[in-house]
Amino acid sequence: EAQVTQNPRYLITVTGKKLTVTCSQNMNHEYMSWYRQDPGLGLRQIYYSMNVEVTDKGDVPEGYKVSRKEKRNFPLILESPSPNQTSLYFCASSLSMRADNSPLHFGNGTRLTVT
Amino acid sequence: GENVEQHPSTLSVQEGDSAVIKCTYSDSASNYFPWYKQELGKRPQLIIDIRSNVGEKKDQRIAVTLNKTAKHFSLHITETQPEDSAVYFCAAMEGGADGLTFGKGTHLIIQP
């Protein structure tokens, strides 16, 4: 089954403790992206990657890192989490953001709480 | 960069009536406008999209219209059903850009 898989689904952590949220897609998609969803603010892009070894900042990149060493994986890293990073995170992928009939596929989300 | 405004933030309609959600965008170079539906506790899923070379697109009970001159696009749902209750997000992507800019969402409530 074609899908975007995020892990974990739920995570509670403390301020300053490094964490990684994994994202993997099995559709051979070139484009991958991370969003955070907060009440009243919609979906805001954190980082994106057009292809392997190519990553760029989105609208809210502060406090986050990403890597794209393999085409299928795009982990989100919080080196020193803070309470304002408590949010619902979505990974998404697309064959290509510039091609017709290439919609964005979302993972099931990771709900992160930083205390 | 692109800025997308979405209205209303909450919309309540009677089952069987129509619902309309409107979005405006700022960058005239934007050329791709998808709509996503997010049910409670689930991921956003694409329901319909339109590119700037057409003015309207339909898929059964849902349709999207685009007015490039005014820089706004709308989602129309006819004969609403309880399963249409969800949060709907519009988005826009400017030509040459590398990602979607989303509106803040509309919570659609279908009253029985």
Interface check for B99 against chain A (CB to CB < 8 A): the answer is: yes
Lowest mean per-residue pLDDT among A74-78, B27-31, B87-91:
B27-31
Interface check for B58 against chain A (CB to CB < 8 A): the answer is: no
> Residue with structure tokens 């064959």?
A95
pLDDT for B23: 98
pLDDT for A63: 97
For the cut 70, the answer to whether the pLDDT of residue B95 exceeds it is no
Torsion of the alpha carbons at B105, B110, B111 and B112, rounded to the nearest 10:
-160
pLDDT confidence band for B103 (50 / 70 / 90): very high
Report the distance separating Cα A85 and Cα A88, nearest Å.
9
CB contact (8 A) between residue B34 and residue A33: no
CB contact (8 A) between residue A56 and residue B98: yes
The DSSP secondary-structure symbol of A98 reads T
Question: DSSP labels for B25-69?
Answer: ES-TTEEEEEEEEE-TTS--EEEEEEETT-SEEEETTEEEEEETT
Torsion of the alpha carbons at A7, A11, A14 and A17, rounded to the nearest 10:
-10
pLDDT for B94: 72
Angle formed at CA A14 by CA A9 and CA A16, multiple of 5 degrees: 110
Report the distance separating Cα B83 and Cα B33, nearest Å.
23
pLDDT for B105: 96
Q: How far apart are the first and last CA of chain B?
A: 41
Paired with B62 in beta bridges are B59, B77
Report the distance separating Cα A28 and Cα A30, nearest Å.
7
Q: Please enumerate residues of A whose Cβ is less than 8 A from a Cβ of B.
A: 31, 33, 35, 40-45, 48, 50, 56, 58-59, 90, 97, 100, 103-104, 106-109
For the cut 90, the answer to whether the pLDDT of residue B93 exceeds it is no
CB contact (8 A) between residue A97 and residue B98: yes
pLDDT confidence band for B96 (50 / 70 / 90): low
Cβ neighbours of A14 (radius 10 Å): 11
Q: Are strands B106-111 and B10-14 parallel, antiparallel or unpaired?
A: parallel
What are the 10-residue block averages of pLDDT along chain A, 115 residues in total? 92 97 96 94 93 92 97 97 98 80 89 97
A11 SS3 class: strand
Mean pLDDT on B66-75? 95
A78 SS3 class: strand
Question: Which residues, numbered 20 to 49 in chain B, qualify as contacts with chain A under a Cβ-Cβ cut-off of 8 Å?
Answer: 34, 42-46, 49
pLDDT for B100: 86
Q: How many residues does chain B have?
A: 112
